Chain A
Amino acid sequence: MDLITLSIMLLKIIVVFIAMLLGVAYLTWLERKVLGHMQVRYGPMRVGWHGLLQPIADGIKLFFKEDIVVANANKVIYVLAPFVVTVCAFASFAVVPFGNELTIFGQTIPLRIADVNIGILYIFALSSLSVYGLTFAGWSSNNKYALMGGLRASAQMISYELPAGLSIIGVLMLTGSLSMVEIVNAQKDLWFIIKQPLGFILFLICSVAECNRTPFDLPEAESELVAGFHVEYSSMKFALFFLAEYAHMIVMASLVTTLFLGGWHLPFIDISSLHPTTLIGQLVVSLLPICVFGVKVFCFLFFLIWLRATYPRLRYDQLMKFGWKVLFPLALFNIVLTAILQIFNLL
């Protein structure tokens, strides 16, 4: 690997990381704003124009808060837990293809950090590891509510990871590959949401549950568990949990976009077949896929916030029953259905 490719690689990682951080910061702002307007109030208005600087103010505030480690906590695990969650959430984005190619100064840069041939499994592996963070945060704080939250988090993540994994098998059968880039390329003509409507709905529900969002936000149900697994955390450790949760939302949004909504592809227009000669044209063709991807991710994030404003929380037994008795059989049915349709060349 020569110096130029190495520096491009590093640059990509830094840019993606900063974009994720900014995305997370403004996702909190978006959530407060959208929730506010849905509840006929304004949301944050004081800091900056329509509260646009609110996330930065919040960040500074959290930095200067007192960092408390509870006396009876298991110190090492207590400190480790928020880092595990954050690292897993941010590292997942490494295999997401957020654009096609950037052609600039004669260099062609593929717009993804890594194209691993098991990309989708990589994301699932990291998200199954992030359960540890939540569980250990709950256990190590030595608090009843936190422990309940941690237990709920691990039970919920395990139960919903299974239908999530099974619901994307239809997509993998249509693509014939586990690589995220291949999955996006396979959707050039027709998005998988049309070929796999059942798989899409199942994965959508599971991804909401994986993000611990309403109506599946039992691990941090504030009206019964105070705040769930992070009840004893303060200052930056608390902020890390928040960062991880919103980063996880962004990763899930990009996963839904990549798997079912065609990734960076526009409907009816094939961006990758355009070859403009002018520099500006080339730049537009390179940056357009990123914008398309961003818009799709934004739509999913808005959908998550919308859900939070609309639905009440499920009861715990309802959550488990729904996962195992509804989603799981339906996911299996989707696999069989896809296989049959594929044998008769109907897909």
Chain B
Amino acid sequence: MEAILFYGLAAIMVVSSLMVILRKNPVHSALFLVLTFLCLAVLYLLLNAQFIAAIQVIVYAGAIMVLFIFVIMLLNLESEVASKSSHGLQKFWAMAISIVLAISFVSIMTVRVFTGGKGDFSPEAVNAAGNSEVIGRLLFTEFLLPFEITSVLLLAAIIGAIVLAKKKL
């Protein structure tokens, strides 16, 4: 059952993420990206990570992508204008980088087989304590420093956005 769900979702994700870059219409691309995010959320659910799944939907699918689409709709890009803007040099670099990425990805995947780490956090243990409780405890004990650094980074980004958006300070 889980395997069927996984392969189905993975197939949808691969196809929809391809559609993100293949569609000419920016709104369609954005929609396919939302679909990819939703499938990813379901994959998290399959891994018993309900909290991450909900946050994935709320933050990525629900907030960030809505803002993306908001901007696309406000600019109301015509599909032809959008496709004309990509010129030759950009295509070359995009191809070069993706080939390098593909080679490194395939080589890593063939060299090593990834298995889940074995620790205290088996799905049963996490579900017994509650998903959000475990994540909260870890964030504020073991991963406190990265957590705080991220928050400072976000604060800097917020201030930067305000400075950029405000005409006079």
Determine the distance from Cα of A177 to Cα of B127 in the docked complex, in whole angstroms: 13
Q: Return the chain B residue nearest A74 by Cβ.
A: B27
Q: How many residues of B contact A (CB 8 A)?
A: 22
Q: Give, as a whole number of angstroms, the nearest-CB distance from B3 to chain A.
A: 19
Contact status B66-A121, CB under 8 Å: no
A62 at the interface (CB under 8 A from B): no
Please indicate the chain A residues that have their CB under 8 angstroms from the CB of B132 in the complex: 117-118, 178
CA distance A178 to B70 in the complex (A): 30
A169→B54 CA distance, assembly (Å): 16
Interface residues on chain A, number (Cβ under 8 Å): 26
- Asked if A154 CB lies within 8 Å of chain B CBs, one says yes
- Are the C-beta atoms of A147 and B62 separated by less than 8 Å? no
Judge if B57 is at the interface, Cβ distance under 8 Å. Answer: yes
Chain B proximity of A246: nearest CB distance (Å): 22
Complex Cα spacing A255 to B165, Å: 36
Chain B residues whose CB sits within 8 angstroms of the CB of A129 once the complex forms: 57, 61-62
* Chain A residues within 8 Å of B34, by CB: 132
Interface residues of B in 38-67 (CB under 8 A from A): 50-51, 54-55, 57-58, 61-63, 66-67
Q: A118 contacts which chain B residues (CB < 8 A)? A: 50-51, 54, 131-132
Per-position contact with B for A111-125: 1 when CB-CB < 8 Å, else 0?
Answer: 000001110011011
| A55: chain B residues within 8 A (beta carbon) | none
Is A128 interfacial (CB-CB < 8 Å)? yes
A151, B73: Cβ atoms under 8 Å?
yes
> Which residues in A have their C-beta under 8 angstroms from that of B70?
135, 151, 154-155
Q: List, in ascending order, chain B residues with CB within 8 A of A158's CB.
A: 63, 66-67
**Which residues in window 105-164 of A have CB below 8 A to B?**
116-118, 121-122, 124-125, 128-129, 131-132, 135-136, 139, 147, 150-151, 154-155, 157-158, 161
